[in-house]
Amino acid sequence: MEEPALPWRGVRVLEPAVLLAAPFASTLMADFGAEVIKLELPGSGDPMRQLAPIHKGQSLWWKATARNKKSATLDLRTPRGQELFRRLAAESDVVIENFRPGVMEHWGLGWETLHECNPKLIMVRQTGFGQFGPYAQHPAYGMIVECYAGLPDALGFSDTPPVGSSLGDYLAGLVIVYAIMFALYHRDVHGGPGQLIDNAASEAILRITAESRVPALHLGLPAPPKRSADRPYQSMGADDLRVAGFFQTADDRWCALHPGTAGTAIWANLVQVMGREDFLDEAAYPLGSPARQQRRQEIAEVVAQWFRAHTRDEVVSTAQRCNITIAPVYSVQDAMADPHFAARQSFVDVDDEDFGVLRMVNVTPRLSATPGAVLHPGPRVGEHNEEIYGDILKMTNAELRVLRDDGVI
């Protein structure tokens, strides 16, 4: 079967990184045709192979995150492994690593060395806090850097523990991808050299959590409430009578309501459905007045009562029929069963040697001329050793046998 036209075909990525942020970035590149060479420790392989969910001894997380990649084994702690890495870097466009600052230098694989081997190389150094600064040497995972960037402080209730996640890892991965695009464009269009990309996950998260808050706090404006869940019914502004938020339905499910931007008919459609067109009359409630604050609370309570009087499906059906922006709060299982995602083929079935067929999230975004594709799930440890070392480095089977016997590959 002829492979689809993929926009990143011809770009080779060398990935000795482990776990989430950096490998997620290279997965996005592999989805669109980049040749991603995943370097794993001989024998044990990448730590992600041990992450749940595990079925029949196989990590499903690995199957999805390492899709479209090639696997080669290499022990970077050995002198011969380091030499092989330098040779591979000389034949690659991008290196993505996420070791603590100084580790690659200790192995003789730092930026200066690799740049000398390949002046066109783009090197991504993904860490929690960057290559310099007081925290640069601190160990960091997604949940840790999210705390420094203020994400858990903005989620949940103030009288319960903060809410952690792995969103910071995925956000950092997205930043890596567009940084590589910038660097490749500068190199290939403007004729520039390769360059170093210092991507701190904490800064990637700050770009989202602090975008509007930093200017406001700098000017001495009051800090917003610590936790978004402390405002279950939110207004769209200090004096806006429209409400937004999450509301529980009669069948103990949840829906989200957004009343639309100013000038749209969405809020008017909702109050008409509720039979409360009086909510559109704001003349009796002057801006900034206590009466206006009280009125907003009254409106929020009526909206909540309306949700509680209907099931989730009834609410969503009414919203779709009357052009109101309401959504059910889905689980992933709900999304998999939704006809909209089925129509768009948001999930794709991929042939797999262990399970026959394995379903996973499809490629996004959708390009009209060069769409991405999921060609295969995550490979076995060292599955492509002969191809990588033989075809790229022109090594013989005898040489590979020695390296394998010595534990280098």
Together in a domain, 320 and 353: no
- Determine which of 140-149, 150-159, 209-218, 379-388 has the lowest per-residue pLDDT on average: 150-159
Q: Is the pLDDT of residue 122 over 70?
A: yes
Give the pLDDT band of residue 282 (cuts 50, 70, 90): confident
Residue finishing a domain among 307, 331, 355: 331
pLDDT of residue 232: 56
Mean pLDDT for 5-13 is 94
Q: Is the pLDDT of residue 28 over 60?
A: yes
Provide the residue range defining the domain that includes 247: 232-331
Residue finishing a domain among 331, 354, 387: 331
Question: Residue 89 belongs to a domain with what CATH number?
Answer: 3.40.50.10540
pLDDT digits (tens, 9 = 90+) for 311-368: 999 999 999 999 999 999 999 999 999 999 999 999 999 999 999 999 999 999 999 9
Together in a domain, 200 and 81: yes
- Determine which of 174-178, 279-283, 306-310 has the lowest per-residue pLDDT on average: 279-283
Together in a domain, 255 and 131: no
Together in a domain, 188 and 254: no
Give the pLDDT band of residue 283 (cuts 50, 70, 90): confident
Together in a domain, 43 and 144: yes
Tell me the two tokens of residue 227: 């936790």
pLDDT of residue 234: 61
Tell me, letter by letter, the H, E, C secondary structure of 17-38: CCCCHHHHHHHHHHHCCCEEEE
Residue 7 counted as domain residue: no
- The residues, ordered by sequence, that sit 6+ positions from 275 with a Cβ below 8 Å of its Cβ are none
pLDDT of residue 158: 76
Residue 282 counted as domain residue: yes
Residue 336 counted as domain residue: no
Query: Is omega for the bond preceding 339 within 30 degrees of 0, making it cis?
Result: no
Together in a domain, 118 and 156: yes
Tell me the two tokens of residue 401: 């046998």
Together in a domain, 393 and 313: no
- Determine which of 35-44, 125-134, 236-245 has the lowest per-residue pLDDT on average: 236-245
Residue 338 counted as domain residue: no
pLDDT of residue 154: 81
Together in a domain, 183 and 317: no
> Is-contact 224 215, C-beta < 8 A?
no
Give the pLDDT band of residue 156 (cuts 50, 70, 90): confident
Tell me which amino acid residue 132 is.
F
The rounded percent of the chain whose pLDDT value lies above 70 is 95
Residue finishing a domain among 331, 352, 370: 331
pLDDT of residue 160: 81
Together in a domain, 111 and 145: yes
CA distances (Å), 406 to each of 44, 79, 80, 146, 252, in order?
A: 15, 12, 10, 41, 61
Residue 72 counted as domain residue: yes
pLDDT of residue 286: 87
Q: Is the pLDDT of residue 107 over 90?
A: yes
Half-sphere exposure of 241 (CA within 13 A, CB side): 23
pLDDT of residue 266: 94
Together in a domain, 261 and 184: no
Torsion of CA 107, 113, 118, 119, to 10 degrees: 150
Residue 388 counted as domain residue: yes
Tell me the two tokens of residue 111: 């930026």
Tell me the two tokens of residue 202: 């904490």
Name 351's bridge partners: 357
Q: Name the residue with higher pLDDT: 241 or 185.
A: 185
pLDDT of residue 236: 60
Entry field: residues in the chain: 409
pLDDT digits (tens, 9 = 90+) for 76-105: 999 999 999 999 999 999 999 999 999 999
pLDDT of residue 378: 97
Q: Which of 347, 353, 408, 409 is nearest to 378 (CA)?
A: 353
Tell me the two tokens of residue 260: 């639309």
Name 123's bridge partners: 95, 196
| Domains: count for the chain | 2
Together in a domain, 137 and 16: yes
Furthest CA-CA distance within the chain? 88
Residue 2 counted as domain residue: no
Mean pLDDT for 21-39 is 97
Question: Residue 255 belongs to a domain with what CATH number?
Answer: 3.30.1540.10
Which residues are part of the catalytic machinery?
169
Residue 4 counted as domain residue: no
Rg value, the chain, Cα: 26
pLDDT digits (tens, 9 = 90+) for 200-258: 999 999 999 888 888 888 999 887 666 665 555 665 666 788 989 899 999 999 999 99
Together in a domain, 63 and 143: yes
Chain-wide mean pLDDT for the chain?
Answer: 93
Give the pLDDT band of residue 36 (cuts 50, 70, 90): very high
Q: In the 8-state DSSP scheme, what is residue 282?
A: -
